[in-house]
Amino acid sequence: MKKPELLVTPGSVTEIQKQIVAGADAFLIGEQRYGLRLAGEFSREQIKEAVRLAHEHGKKVYVAVNAIFHNNIANELDDYIAFVKEANADAIVFGDPAVIMAVREAAPGFPLHWNPETTATNYYTANYWGKRGAVRAILARELSMDAVIETKENANVQIEVQVHGMTCMFQSKRPLLGHYFEYMGQNMEVEKRQGAKNMLLHDEERGNKYPIYEDANGTHIMSPNDMCIIDELQDLIDARIDSFKIDGVLQTEEYRLEATKLYRKAIDLCVDDPSRYDEEKDSLFEAAESLQQDHRPLDSGFFFKETVY
């Protein structure tokens, strides 16, 4: 049985070198001007270096062009997509049809991965975008296991699912944090806010703490828990899901590397020795749990309808 791709979100070119050793198969990178909620900021030169390094080791690089575009940025897409093609990246991750139009103009036939976040919920829409150039659909994190498997069974494109990490609960294009600090009589630059990874919204009633940060795309509020289905991979692998994603936004390099190692082991066991995977999956989950901050428990996301915000 073919192993699913293990896709990770590195924070730097240096981390990519370490992630290759850890067992990653592919990397999602980009710059926040064009991509949403990335673990690291990659300049054009860094994207070129990342692609070169990954290809030397038989790995892939996908560039995020999935931000919410207004006219001023949409008018830049032809140039940026021409650069991505020139850099020899393996695919562009997109959500806006403006990207398809730019690809047709600047890089005809370039591979596209459709990622509209919460609206990738059925195989009809996935196949619709497949007919318009997408070779992969990245499913919404809010789908159940049964819905994911049904979509894969009927999709004419590759299917990617997130198996670990945070989920974005809310995004506003407005600088809500900036407005708050201004109201409080304080100044805080966007760059500093974007790098302030310990900012939390406290919900005393529910006992939750929600990471919040701001960047060029606005304000983002993340889930209080991290998704982890390292002990529930068998059905997804049996369904031949094409790519498993570890989302490392707002996490440390060490965390991302250790999570990659655990999922590399889990995937290899699940495909090569399923009985041993059954024996070790509880310990794999416990190892993943040991990586967590005290205020961030693990859950299985919406795969079994456990998570309610």
pLDDT of res. 305: 72
pLDDT in tens, 23-76: 999 999 999 999 999 999 999 999 999 999 999 999 999 999 999 999 999 999
Residue 308 lies in a domain: no
Is the same domain home to 17 and 101? Answer: yes
pLDDT of res. 309: 44
Question: CA 105 to CA 288: how far, in whole Å?
Answer: 44
CA–CA–CA angle 254, 260, 262 (5° rounding): 105
Distance of CA 56 to the CA centre of its chain: 23
> For the chain, what is the mean pLDDT?
90
Q: Is the pLDDT of residue 172 over 80?
A: no
Least confident of 33-47, 53-67, 252-266, 294-308: 294-308
Residue 307 lies in a domain: no
The token duo for 309 is 């915000």
Residue 304 lies in a domain: no
Residue 28 lies in a domain: yes
176: confidence class by pLDDT, cuts 50, 70, 90 = low
Residue 159 lies in a domain: yes
Is the same domain home to 122 and 234? Answer: yes
Is the same domain home to 135 and 251? Answer: yes
Phi, psi (degrees; rounded to nearest 5) at 140: -60, 145
Q: Is the pLDDT of residue 249 over 80?
A: yes
Cα dihedral 228, 233, 236, 237 sign: positive
- Give how many domains the chain has, as a whole number: 2
* β-pair type (168-172, 218-222): antiparallel
Q: Is the pLDDT of residue 169 over 50?
A: yes
212: confidence class by pLDDT, cuts 50, 70, 90 = confident
pLDDT of res. 56: 98
Is the same domain home to 199 and 235? Answer: no
pLDDT in tens, 83-99: 999 999 999 999 999 99
Is the same domain home to 207 and 123? Answer: no
pLDDT of res. 187: 58
Is the same domain home to 122 and 140? Answer: yes
Q: Is the pLDDT of residue 193 over 80?
A: no
User: pTM of whole model > 0.85?
Assistant: yes
Domain that holds residue 89: 5-167+226-299
Residue 309 lies in a domain: no
Residue 58 lies in a domain: yes
